[in-house]
Structure 1
């Protein structure tokens, strides 16, 4: 076993952080961050789109971007950070790129990422609108 493999294995075994959900670039996540103000400690939610995931092993990190009051805010978090209380996966983004730096130039609706739709089959038929029902009656 190489020295780097041994170091990687030992550091992964020592990390006892919270279990993080599987997410990828383009997903919208909510990161619950522990913030210490004086003697008090509170949790703040940072919700945004994952711009990039970089690194490997214990050195992995991810960058989240959100727009607050018309100003873009990006924050980079290490996966092994003790400041992360938990991560919520809000929606899965439908993208074709691994790094979404082009979102920095866009604003408004142009900066939105299309979400993958998860369809659930329902047992009953969907009801038609009034116009569609009348047109069907006339054709019969």
Structure 2
């Protein structure tokens, strides 16, 4: 599902009641653990965490008007998603996350390249997401982005 919102608060207000508490908790945990250099806002019709132009003036190579994306959270049709570009670009972080996940959740990891899908809203590993959020600061993300992703 796509929600049209100009702010994270507005996005959350539009969610079905059963989705609000998990999304608020995810947002709180991410903001509490987000390293300096990142900002929260709306990105791709989701709540986004990105490197703003004030830190990385080049922006995102696909559309330089956009800040450099790092993480997003979204309420999709059948799940809540956490998108983390650092896992996509850094195999060590991906390997760490996939090995830690079973220690925090009783259900099998449902994941794409950078998307972690949570269909069971009562089994979101908030502590693990907090650790994942803090694993990479903005300068590390910029270096990794420029080295591996920007062509």
* Larger CA Rg, structure 1 vs 2: 1
Higher fraction of strand: 1
Return the TM-score normalized by structure 1. Answer: 0.25
Return the TM-score normalized by structure 2. Answer: 0.24
